[in-house]
Structure 1
Amino acid sequence: MNVLLIGGGGREHALAWKLKQSPLLEALYCAPGNAGIAEVADCVSLDVADHDAVAQFCRDKAIGLVVIGPEAPLVAGLADDLEAHGIAVFGPSQAAAQLEGSKGYTKDLCAEYGIPTAAYGRFKEAAPAKSHVAAQPLPVVIKADGSAAGKGVVIANSHFEAYSAIDACFTGAFGEAGAEVVVEEHLSGEEASFFVLVDGESALPLATAQDHKRVHDGDTGPNTGGMGAYSPAPIMDETLCKRVMDEIISPTVAAMKARGTPFKGVLYAGLMIQDGAPKLIEYNVRFGDPETQALVMRLKSDLLPALLATAQGKLHGVTLDWHDAAALCVVMAAKGYPGDYQKGTEIKGLTEAAADPDVEIFHAGTKRDGDRVLATGGRVLGVTARGADIAAAKARAYAAVDKIGWPGGFCRRDIGWRAIKR
């Protein structure tokens, strides 16, 4: 089977690396890809916003499955347009992608179907949003309604901070994503990431994970797209996983079907766990980044048949096997991230760093310039290692990090601290 993978980040490199191992795979294409993906796939120049061009490419290359990595093409309806051409797609329709494309949509769905989540309000103007905030206990969470690439969320510890976040949304800091604001009750507890494959009716849970959103050690500094992750998440025991399926995932899958917008793809639930009870923070409609990097290192089974079964509505009865070992991913980012950062700095030592067979370095924002690898993005590398437990995986990952010569980059040094502390 020929497969087209859409995207060019660390998540897509991890997916490409795993798909490349499938005996079912004949050719793997990626648009646009990156320097790391180019080692396992044929990177092609394709405007993914031109849906007709993508469909034509699929016909020309006899693509049997398109795997859409990022949320933006899903929210833009790429899956719908490809399926209209008879092309199998792993990823939800535009209507179903509203679960990530609009936080307010998801909050309303939770309210209608009794799915546990934080109390909230939706606002299209700054004044009523600020009036609502004034009556809320602090801290309070301000979210741009639309997809803002992992940003657009502020946990405000003062009313001034909350008002500033609201103004930022309505004055265009996040583009169209900030046209509406969701104000949420602040949930306390421990966060976890829960992934399931969904084919419209059936849902298959994947391994659990936890990520680190804050930019600096000790979970301090601004939120980012993710500075590291590990799997499994110790807090997510069998009992809690069952509660998440029964109280959050299954009602969501049923609700989407009842609304005539069945969800097909991977559903990523960001959870807050307090006193053993899960609440939904938000949904993403694609694999997490950097959680995917840790997940693929633990997945024993062939990923391609599971993605194809999801796309074809034939997920019932599919099972996946996982390594008992843990995996941990350390994100190396360009200095200045998540603010302004320098591009074009050279990264050295990648071959030496990946010499350990239990280490993989997944590229995100990179490109090749002859024999050199250059940083082109904010989050640039995902140094990922497998170990007997989280502590062993962490030690192996940081040993690899220390072999990478990149003065223009930085990373957190405490990824996995919560699991190890337990």
Structure 2
Amino acid sequence: MENRDKKKVLIVGAYACAYSLARKFAEQGAQVFVAPGSDAMKEFATVVDIRKDNELLDFVLENAIDLTVVAGDSGKSDIATLFQENNQPVFCPTRYSSGICQSKVIGKKFMHRYNIPCPKFGVFEKASFAISYLENSNYPVVIKTDHHQRKGVSVCNNIASAKTIVDNLFALGEKRVLIEDYIWGHEFSFYVITDGYHAIPLGCVATYKYELEGNGGMLSSGMGAFSDNYRVSNRIKERIMQEIITPALNALEKEQKPYSGILGADLVIDDNENLYTIEFNQFLKSPDAQVILELLDDNIYNLFEACAIGSFADDYDKIEMKDENAIACVLCSGEKPVTIEGLENLDENTKVSHFNTKKSEEGYKTGGGQTLVLTRRARVLSKAVRDLYDEISVINYDGKKYRRDIGTIL
């Protein structure tokens, strides 16, 4: 006879964030299913190759799934509305409420409309107008596509490079280009859990977006992170809630688009403690997800379910987190698949999350680009940093690349 005391959870996702989330649910006793999942997730979850929203709903109904969680950006999909219309608990925002996360232009215009602090920006649909704006700008500037992805972001130090980027983007068919001032200061991410009306901080993360040490090279979706971020005081966190998070949630409610799920904000604080909102994010990003989940000391099922069924405001006034520090580093690889060695030799306290590895007879093989995330936790950040890099040295494969300065404030 089936044990229904064990909650059934469906995670929608395929990469490192979904991997870490599914493992967290499994560690806390849930029966976990992941769609579409990955080879590595089969170690602790049942992987089902489902990619269409209506097929996900059919699976949930047929298998008596208790809670569905969308791990990451849902894109044009609207799983939340579909599941809510069929009375199925789901933890993610609707497509309409997450528009501020899906589109950089929508997000920036939303910030401007509701006086949420952000850099000065302009949105352009023609290259000539964008270049005219650049001719009167202070440098550096940041040029972005409308898509919510780091590969569409360029930092330009002079007008010549900025013009080249703008011309190339429009030549490649971009419909809208966003240009904003570059803000000098400390970059970090701030996350809350919310039911659309009540929000509680989940974590403040120091982020490392550039591919090379010292913030060199190209921007990426993330090369490393640590939490809690000691550069951001409790007073600043209170300001973030008052000046950014609460106004954003109130505005979405006013527009009849209440946001339920995890809302993230990429922020910069300058030397004068001015806050700037760079963009909003739907759910946790890797490697932020790894450090926050490593520190989460609450029951994740109860937490997410409370938002999904509407009891969050009554059930929670704080989220229990471990009084420790967690740090994560992303390991990248070349395009040619090669076997990863050393995974079996890692310390039991090291958490490994997989992006796109494939299982073979020789073991896991790389999939190109972001490959693994290694995470460590300790009472003191410096010890977590030493332990992390000791463990990274255990992993070996041709083409291994990673930043060696995660844990330092730049």
TM-score by structure 2 length? Answer: 0.94
- Render the CA deviation track for 1:257-304: whole Å, top value 9, x for unaligned: 000111111110001011223211111112121011011111111111
Q: Which residue of 2 aligns with 1:4?
A: 10
Q: Are the counterparts in 2 of residues 30 and 43 from structure 1 also a CA contact under 8 Å?
A: yes
Matched, 1:304 2:301: yes
1:370 offset after TM fit, Å? Answer: 2.9
1:74 offset after TM fit, Å? Answer: 4.4
CA distance in 2, matches of 1:167, 1:64: 50
Matched, 1:252 2:248: yes
Q: Are the counterparts in 2 of residues 21 and 302 from structure 1 also a CA contact under 8 Å?
A: no
Q: Are the counterparts in 1 of residues 201 and 319 from structure 2 also a CA contact under 8 Å?
A: no
CA distance in 2, matches of 1:209, 1:203: 17
Q: Which residue of 2 aligns with 1:338?
A: none
Q: Which residue of 1 aligns with 2:72?
A: 70
Matched, 1:327 2:326: yes
Matched, 1:363 2:354: yes
CA distance in 2, matches of 1:159, 1:76: 38
1:36 offset after TM fit, Å? Answer: 2.9
Q: Which residue of 2 aligns with 1:61?
A: 63
Q: Are the counterparts in 2 of residues 364 and 377 from structure 1 also a CA contact under 8 Å?
A: no
1:108 offset after TM fit, Å? Answer: 1.4
1:364 offset after TM fit, Å? Answer: 1.0
Q: Which residue of 2 aligns with 1:42?
A: 46
CA distance in 2, matches of 1:15, 1:282: 23
CA distance in 2, matches of 1:41, 1:377: 24
AA aligned to 2:383 is: A
Q: Which residue of 2 aligns with 1:164?
A: 164
Which of 261, 279, 288 does residue 276 from structure 2 map onto? Answer: 279
Q: Which residue of 1 aligns with 2:3?
A: none
1:371 offset after TM fit, Å? Answer: 4.7
Map of 1:122-201 to 2, 5 A cutoff?
A: 122-148=123-149, 150-172=150-172, 178-201=174-197
AA aligned to 2:296 is: L
The runs of 4+ residues in structure 1 deviating greater than 6 Å are: none
Which of 320, 330, 346 does residue 339 from structure 2 map onto? Answer: 346
RMSD: 1.5
DSSP 3-state at the match of 1:142: strand
Q: Are the counterparts in 2 of residues 194 and 209 from structure 1 also a CA contact under 8 Å?
A: yes
AA aligned to 1:170 is: F
CA distance in 2, matches of 1:107, 1:145: 10
CA distance in 2, matches of 1:346, 1:171: 39
Q: Are the counterparts in 1 of residues 116 and 247 from structure 2 also a CA contact under 8 Å?
A: yes
CA distance in 1, matches of 2:94, 2:168: 30
Q: Are the counterparts in 2 of residues 209 and 230 from structure 1 also a CA contact under 8 Å?
A: yes
CA distance in 1, matches of 2:28, 2:175: 43
Aligned length: 401
- Render the CA deviation track for 1:326-361: whole Å, top value 9, x for unaligned: 1100100013xxxxxx142110110112x232x111
1:37 offset after TM fit, Å? Answer: 1.8
For structure 1, the residue ranges without an aligned partner over 5 or more in a row are 336-341
DSSP 3-state at the match of 1:57: helix
CA distance in 2, matches of 1:315, 1:264: 10
AA aligned to 1:346 is: T
1:45 offset after TM fit, Å? Answer: 0.9
Q: Which residue of 2 aligns with 1:235?
A: 231
Matched, 1:291 2:283: no
CA distance in 2, matches of 1:332, 1:35: 18
Q: Which residue of 2 aligns with 1:94?
A: 95
1:181 offset after TM fit, Å? Answer: 1.1
Bigger shift: 30-39 or 216-225?
Answer: 30-39
1:313 offset after TM fit, Å? Answer: 2.7
CA distance in 2, matches of 1:252, 1:314: 21
DSSP 3-state at the match of 1:346: coil
AA aligned to 2:304 is: L
Q: Which residue of 2 aligns with 1:392?
A: 383
TM-score by structure 1 length? Answer: 0.92
For structure 2, the residue ranges without an aligned partner over 5 or more in a row are 1-6
CA distance in 2, matches of 1:143, 1:58: 38
DSSP 3-state at the match of 2:88: coil
Q: Are the counterparts in 2 of residues 74 and 92 from structure 1 also a CA contact under 8 Å?
A: no
CA distance in 2, matches of 1:158, 1:371: 49
CA 1:217–1:414: 2 relative to 1, 3 Å: same
Bigger shift: 100-109 or 159-168?
Answer: 159-168
CA distance in 2, matches of 1:346, 1:58: 36
AA aligned to 2:63 is: K
Between the aligned residues of both structures, percent identity stands at: 28
1:80 offset after TM fit, Å? Answer: 1.9
CA distance in 1, matches of 2:127, 2:79: 33
Matched, 1:374 2:352: no
